[in-house]
Amino acid sequence: MIWADVLAMQSMKLATVRVGYAKRWFIVGSVACAAAIVLALSLASTAVEDFTVVFWIAVAWSITALLVLFPLPCVFTYHIAGERSFRLHMGFIMKLDVPYSIVREVSPGEIRKGILSVGIGVRYNDKTGTAFVVSSFDNVVSLKLSEELRIRAWRPRVHEIVFSVVDAEETIELLSSKMASKEG
């Protein structure tokens, strides 16, 4: 009986696939911010005047706030193609399970509105009902949903999710096979 449970757990573990997310520039940005924080704190510790000490500590806090808000959540981003749903996870900003039963189509995505209006991270376009979870503007995949899904309590419902991956074609094949196995 115990071996059957162990084998079932191993097969569940194999059914879950982690989808690559492009993080290289976010890691570089996080390391650069950390180096700037260390530099500001070292300048504060060697400063003679009180104003200079307070100034460099304020600079270190400001850089820390920028680090926590922008590149750091993207470093902890990952997507998982599970057995029943696709999980989108971006740091502390977003954690969402999209059941395969409501996914109508998986296709190569595109950013139609432009770089400045979409940006990096989690963005919503209320007019088109699209949510963007992007780190770059190439290698994006679009999930078109058969019913609207609420990502967050205070955000509108969406019927399309566009997200960045390392290899769009491989991700489309993976999600299509997961959806086909759920249907059959």
pLDDT at residue 111 in the model: 77
Alpha helices in 16-114 (DSSP H): 24-46, 50-69, 71-75
Per DSSP, the three-state class of 90 is strand
Residue 152: which residues within 8 A CB-CB, separation 6 or more?
A: 94
Q: What is the pLDDT along the chain (184 residues), one digit of tens a residue?
A: 454 444 444 444 447 888 888 788 888 889 999 999 999 999 999 999 999 999 999 999 999 998 887 788 888 888 999 888 999 888 777 888 999 999 999 999 877 655 555 667 777 777 888 888 888 778 889 999 999 888 777 777 899 998 989 899 999 999 998 888 766 5
Per-residue pLDDT at 45:
95
Separation CA 78–CA 126 (nearest Å): 24
Q: What is the pLDDT of residue 117?
A: 59
Give the model's pLDDT for residue 64.
92
pLDDT at 4: 46
